[in-house]
A and B are shown apart, each in its own frame.
Chain A
Amino acid sequence: MSQSNAYSATAEVGQLRERRSRWETIKLELRKAPISAWFGFIVIGCYLFVALFSPLLAPHGEAEIFKTPFAPWDAKHILGTDQIGRDVFSRLIYGATNTIGIALATTLLSFLIGGGLGLAAAITGGWLDQLLSRFVDVLMAIPSLIFALMLLTIFGSSIFSLICIIAVLDSTRVFRLTRSVAINVTVMDYVEAAKLRGEKLGWIMRREILPNIMPPLIAEFGLRFSFVFLTIAALSFLGLGIQPPTADWGSMVRDNASMIQFAKYDITAAMTPMIPAAAIALLTVAVNFVVDWFLHKTSGLNDEH
C-alpha cells in the first residue's frame, strides 16, 4: 500500500472523537454501566427521595409514643413498635433524613477543610505543606473511631459536636488525597506555563488544577460518605452518636437489639433491629457500587482484557 500523500499538519491522524455534549456523554456512559452501578443509582435515588420527603411519607410522628411497646407487625404499625411504643416504620423513614443528612453535612464539611488545606499545601508547598502534612500524620496515627470517642468524652454528644469531630478527623484523609492528586497536577507543564504567563494563584487553582482533580475527588466523596455514614452509625449504635428522641438507624439497632432473641418465636420481632441495620448496609453497598464503577471509568484502567 503506498502512502504517497504529502505531509500536512491538519491531515495527521489525531484521536478524533465524535463531538458530544457533556450530557450526551453522561447518558452514553450510563447506558454502558453495569447492573451493579444501576442498582446503586436506583437505591441512592430511593434513599434521597425518602430522606427529602420523610414528613410526607411517614404514617406517624418521629417521637410519637403509642400504648403498646413491642407491638407486632399489623396494618397500623407496618413494622410494629419499639421498646417504648414508637412506630418503627415511621422512625425508619425519619431516620433516613437524620442519618443521611448528618453524614452528608459531615462529609461536605470534611471536604471543605481537607480539600481546601490539601490544595493549599500542594500549591504553596514549602513549610505550610510540611507543617500540615506532619500534623495530619500525627492525627492519623490515632485510629479515628478511638479519637472520636475521646473527643466525644470531652465535648459531649450533640449533633453539632458529632459533625465537627467526625468532619475534622475525616478531613485528614481528604487532605492526603487532595494533596497528592493536586501535586501530580501542579508539576504539569501547563501549570508552569500559567505561572510563567503571570497568572494569579486563584486563577491557576480554579482553572488549571480543580478541573483536573475532580474525578478522583468525586470518587473519594462517595467513599468518605460511606465511611462517615458507617462511623456515625457505629457511634450511634454505641449510644454516643445521635441522641434520642431523634430517630436514627444506629440507635434504633441498639435500642431494639434484645428483640433478636425472640427470633425462634416470632421472626418479625427479630427484624426490628435488623431492618435499620440493613438500611445502613444497603445504602453503603449502593454507594460503593457506584464509586467502584466510577473509579473504573475514570482511572482509564481496562483490566478486562
Chain B
Amino acid sequence: MMSTDNNDTKNTGSADENGQKGDILLEMRDVHIDGFSDEKWHHIVKGVDLTLRRGEVMGLIGESGAGKSTLGLAAMGFAQPGCKIVSGTIKFDGMELTKASENEKRALWGSRIAYVAQSAAASFNPAHRLIDQTVESTVNSGIRSLEEAQADARTLYASLQLPDAENIGDRYPHQVSGGQLQRMMTAMAMSSRPDLIIFDEPTTALDVTTQVEVLVAMRDIVERFNTAAIYITHDLAVVAQMADFIKVLRYGNEVEEAETRQMLTAPKEEYTKSLWSVRALTKPEETSDDVVIEIKNVDAAYGGSVKVLHDINIKLPRGRTVAVVGESGSGKSTTARVITGLLPPMTGEVQFNGEVLPKALKDRSKDQLQRIQMIYQMADTAMNPRHTIAEIIGRPLEFYHDLSGKAKQDRILELLHLIELDQTFYDRIPSELSGGQKQRVCIARALAAEPDVIICDEVTSALDQIVQEGILQLLLRLQRELGISYLFITHDIATVQAISDEIVVMYQGAVVEQGLKSEIMSPPYPEYTQLLLKSVPEMDPDWLTNLVDDRL
C-alpha cells in the first residue's frame, strides 16, 4: 500500500523527498466531461490539457459555466453526481486516474490529493469536533498516529493564524466563524501533507476584509510545504495573488495559459483582454446640488427590537450615482428597504424632491411608487418564472401608464431595444435567458415605469465580470440619456470606481462617511474605510505581499 511508504517520507513534511520540484505531478490530456441536465447529456469540459509540476500553483479562472470546478474535481479523478468523464487521460504522479478503481482513488484522496470546498460551513460535518475532522484522513491512511496528527493539526492552526490554536480544534463547526472555518479546511487539507490541493472558490463566500486573512494564510502554508495547488476562482485579482501561472477557460475550452505576470500585463486573446477591461471602466465624477432623495436621521429596526440602522443621513443628487459600500450586515440593503417603504423607519424621514415620503409602502401614492424603482441582485428571483418577458416589461406600462394593445407592444419593443436586446426575446420566459440578459430585462422593467430614481441592490454581484461590464455600461448610458439617479448598493470597490459620483461607506448599520468618489478614495481615511479599501484585491501580483509587509 502506498500509505506505508508515504509514512517515512511524509513525516518530514517536505514534498521534495517524494520527488523533485519541477517534476510533473499531474498531467491531463484531452479531457472531456459530460453533464446530465434537462434530460440530455451536455459537454461541460471539451478537451482540456493541463500540466502541473510539483510545488506549482495554477490558477484556473473563467466565468460560470466555463467548467472550471468540474475540471478541478476531475484532477482528483472525481466526477460529481450527474457528470461523467468521457475521454482523455488524467495522470497523477504516474497513475492513470481514469482507469483507477474507486479504492485506488480513495487511497489518494485525503492523503495525496486534498480538496478545499467553497462553503466550509456546509462541508464540515456538524456532528464532529473540528480536530477530529482535520486529522481523519491522515490517521485513516496511516500517515501519522492520532497523537502526532493532532499535535501537528495544532501547529497548522497556529501557522494559519487561527486564534487559540491549542483548543480551537475541540470546537464544533458551528462554533467558529466562516473565515476561521475556511482556514480550518485548509488545515484539514494540509494535515496529510498532500502533493496536490484543489482550492475550489475558497474565498468567494467571504467578506473582503476576511478574505485577505484567509488568502494570506493559504498562500503561506502552500509555500511553506511546497505543495502543488490548483486554485479555482472567477476573481482575477485573487488568482493573481495566489497563482504562479493562470489558465483561462471558457465554455469548457481553454482560452489561454500563461505565467501570472505575463497574463496580467500582456494577455494574448481578445477574451482574456475583455476580462480585464471591467477593471478599467471609470466614470468622471460629477455632482449636483439638486437633491432628489434625502434620507434624514433614519433609525430602523427589524421586528421593532433589533436595531439595524443608526442615524442614517444620505443625499442622492439628481442624475448622479451614489454608491453605498459596506460588507454584509452593514445595513446597505436595509437602507434600500427604508427608502422603498418596505421597512418603515422608527425615527427620521425620507424626502423625495423635497417632500416627505410616507413611511410605509401602503400609504404611498401610485405616482410616488412609480418614481422610485428597484433592481435586485438575483435577476432569477426578481422575475416570475412563469411570465413572458413581454408580460414582465408590459405590466408597469399598463399599471402606471395605462398602455395597452399596440401602444404597449411598441413600447415593450422600444424598451427591449434600449437594453440592447431584440424582439426575439418578446415571448420568451426568464429561464431561457442568460444571467446578464435577465438583469437587462429587470432594468427594462424598472425603466418602463419611467422613474426618477433606481435603487440598484448589488445588481452586478451575481454576474460574471465581462457581463458586469456590459450592465454597468448600459446603466451609465441610460443615466446620460434619461437623467436617472442611481442609488447603487455594492460591496465591490471596482464597481464603485466604475459607476459612482459619490460614495457612502457603511459599517455596522451606520454611515462612516459620504463624499465625492475622489475624496473617499484618497487619504486621509477613517479607519474602517482604510481597512475596506486596502482589503480589496488588486490586479498586482505583489499586492498581497505588500499588504502583509505594510501590516508588519
Direct contact of A and B (CB under 8 A): yes
The answer, among A13, A195, A199, A305, for a CB contact under 8 Å with B434, is A13
Q: 13 pairs across A/B with beta carbons < 8 Å?
A: A1-B253, A1-B254, A4-B269, A9-B419, A12-B436, A14-B432, A15-B38, A190-B383, A193-B376, A196-B341, A196-B342, A196-B373, A198-B366
- Does A7 have its Cβ within 8 Å of any Cβ on chain B? yes
Distance (Å) between the CB of B399 and the closest chain A CB? 6
Question: Does A10 interact with chain B (Cβ within 8 Å)?
Answer: yes
Digitize B8-48: 1 where CB-to-A-CB distance is under 8 Å, 0 elsewhere.
00000000000000000000000000001111000000000
B421 to chain A, nearest CB (A): 6
The residue on B at minimum CB distance from A212 is B386
List 17 other contacts, CB 8 Å, given A3-B250, A7-B470, A12-B437.
Answer: A1-B254, A3-B271, A4-B271, A8-B420, A9-B420, A9-B436, A12-B436, A16-B432, A19-B427, A190-B381, A193-B376, A196-B374, A197-B399, A207-B384, A211-B386, A212-B385, A305-B81
What secondary structure prevails in chain B residues at the interface with A?
mixed
Count: A-B pairs, CB below 8 Å: 106
Q: Which of A2, A6, A193, A195 contacts B269 (CB 8 A)?
A: A2
Task: Evaluate contact between A7 and B366: CB separation under 8 angstroms.
Answer: no
Contact of A193 among B374, B385, B422, B436 (CB under 8 A): B374
A145 within 8 A of B: no
Contact B37 A302 (CB under 8 A): yes
The answer to whether A190 touches B382 (Cβ under 8 A) is yes
Contact flag A10-B420 (CB < 8 Å), given A189-B378, A190-B382, A196-B340: yes
Q: Is the C-beta of B178 less than 8 angstroms from some C-beta in chain A?
A: no
A192 contacts the other chain (Cβ, under 8 Å)?
A: yes
Assuming the contacts A9-B421, A197-B395, asked whether A3 and B269 have C-beta atoms less than 8 A apart, the reply is: yes
A188 contacts chain B at the CB level, 8 A cutoff: yes
* Interface membership of A208, Cβ < 8 A: yes
A66 to B378, CA, bound (A): 72
A8 to B373 alpha-carbon distance, docked (Å): 26
Q: What is the interface of chain A, defined by CB distance below 8 A to chain B? A: 1-10, 12-17, 19, 32, 188-190, 192-193, 195-199, 207-208, 211-212, 302, 305
State whether the Cβ of B262 lies closer than 8 Å to any Cβ in chain A.
no
B residues 222-272 in Cβ contact with A at 8 Å = 250-251, 253-255, 269-271
Enumerate chain B residues within 8 angstroms of A197, measured Cβ to Cβ: 369, 395-396, 399-400, 449
Contact pattern, B 279-303, Cβ under 8 Å of A = 1, otherwise 0: 0000000000000000000000000
Given contacts A2-B269, A10-B422, contact A192 B399 (CB under 8 A): no
Q: B304 on the interface (CB 8 Å rule)?
A: no
B87 within 8 A of A: no
A3 neighbours in B (Cβ, 8 Å):
250-251, 253, 255, 269-271
CA distance A193 to B445 in the complex (A): 10
Considering only CB atoms, which chain B residue lies closest to A192 in the complex? B342
Distance to closest chain A CB from B376 (angstroms) = 5
Q: Could you say which residues of chain B place their CB within 8 Å of the CB of A190?
A: 381-384
In the complex the two chains form, what is the Cα distance from A6 to B466 in whole Å? 11
The closest CB in chain B to the CB of A303 belongs to B81
Q: Tell whether B204 is near chain A: CB-to-CB under 8 Å.
A: no
Min CB distance B86 to A, Å, is: 14
Q: Is B36 a contact partner of A302 (Cβ separation < 8 A)?
A: yes
Residues of B within 8 A of A5 (CB): 270
A149 vs B23: C-alpha distance in the bound complex, in angstroms? 79
Q: Which residue of A lies closest to B372 (CB)?
A: A196
Give complex CA distance A182, B434 in Å: 26
Q: Are A195 and B270 in contact (CB under 8 A)?
A: no
Cα A4 to Cα B270 in complex, Å, equals 5
CB distance from B373 to the nearest CB of A (A): 8
> Nearest B residue to A1 by beta-carbon distance?
B253
CB distance from A117 to the nearest CB of B (A): 23
Answer yes or no: B197 CB below 8 A from chain A CBs.
no
Q: CB-CB contacts of B410-454 with A at 8 A, as 1s and 0s?
A: 000000000111101101100111101100100001000100000
Residue from A8, A17, A195, A198 having most chain B Cβ neighbours under 10 A: A198
Is B361 an interface residue when CB atoms closer than 8 A count as contact? yes
**Which of B270, B384, B445 contacts A2, CB < 8 Å?**
B270
Chain A proximity of B222: nearest CB distance (Å): 31
- The complex places the Cα of A78 from the Cα of B385 at a distance, in Å, of 54
Bound complex: CA A137 to CA B97 (Å): 54
Q: How far is the CA of A2 from the CA of B340 in the complex (A)?
A: 46
User: Within the complex, what minimum Cβ distance (angstroms) separates A225 from chain B?
Assistant: 25
Contact with A along B343-383 (1 / 0, CB 8 A): 00000000000000000010010100100011010100111
Question: Would B250 and A302 count as touching, CB distance under 8 A?
Answer: no
A14 to B270, alpha carbons, bound, how many Å? 22
Query: Which B-chain residue is minimally distant from A190 (CB atoms)?
Result: B384
In chain B between 461 and 487, which residues have their CB closer than 8 angstroms to a CB of chain A?
Answer: 466-467, 469-470
Instruction: Give the docked Cα–Cα distance between A211 and B391 (Å).
Output: 14
Q: Is B82 an interface residue (CB 8 A)?
A: yes
CB distance from A5 to the nearest CB of B (A): 8
Residue of B nearest to A195 (CB): B361
A305-B82 contact given A15-B431, A189-B378, A198-B366, CB 8 Å threshold: yes
Q: Are B383 and A15 in contact, with the CB atoms below 8 A?
A: no
Given A7-B466, A9-B437, A198-B369, the answer on whether A305 and B376 have CB atoms closer than 8 Å is no
Residues of A within 8 A of B395 (CB): 197
Chain A nearest Cβ from B62, distance in angstroms:
11
Q: What separation, in Å, do the CA atoms of A14 and B467 have in the docked complex?
A: 13
Residues of A within 8 A of B386 (CB): 211-212
Residue numbers in A under 8 Å from B396 (CB-CB): 197
How long is the Cα–Cα vector from A4 to B470 in the complex, in angstroms? 16
Cβ–Cβ < 8 Å partners of B470 in chain A? 7, 9
Instruction: Answer whether residue B274 sits at the interface, using C-beta atoms and an 8 A cutoff.
Output: yes
Q: Are A189 and B382 in touch, CB under 8 angstroms?
A: yes
Closest CB of chain A to B437's CB: distance in Å?
A: 6
Q: With the chains together, A4 CA to B385 CA distance in Å?
A: 33
Report how far A190 CA is from B445 CA in the complex, Å. 11
By Cβ-Cβ distance, the 5 closest A-B pairs, closest first, are: A189-B382, A12-B434, A3-B271, A14-B434, A211-B386
B534 → A minimal CB distance (Å): 31
Bound CA–CA A117/B419 (angstroms): 41
Residues of A within 8 A of B433 (CB): 14-15
Q: Once the chains are docked, how many angstroms separate the CA of A142 from the CA of B271?
A: 65
The answer to whether B369 and A196 have CB atoms under 8 Å apart is yes
Contacts of B364 in A (CB 8 A): 198
Q: How far is the CA of A195 from the CA of B271 in the complex (A)?
A: 41
Q: Could you tell me if A198 and B422 are in contact, using CB atoms closer than 8 angstroms? A: no
Residues in A whose Cβ lies below 8 Å from that of B250: 3
CA distance A305 to B81 in the complex (A): 6
Q: Which residue of A lies closest to B433 (CB)?
A: A14
* Residue among A8, A17, A196, A208 facing the most chain B CB atoms (10 A cut-off): A196
Which residues of chain A have C-beta atoms less than 8 A from B81's C-beta? 305
CB-CB under 8 A from B269, the residues of chain A are 2-4
Alpha-carbon gap, A12 to B425, bound state (A) = 12
Contact between chains at A211 and B384 (CB < 8 Å): yes
Q: CB-CB < 8 A to B466: which residues of A?
A: 7
A302 CB contacts on chain B under 8 angstroms: 36-37, 82
Cβ of A221 to closest chain B Cβ, rounded Å: 19
- Min CB distance A31 to B, Å, is 12
Distance in angstroms between the alpha carbons of A14 and B434 in the assembled complex: 4
Name A304's closest neighbour in chain B (CB-CB): B36
Q: Which residues on A sit within 8 Å (CB–CB) of B431?
A: 15
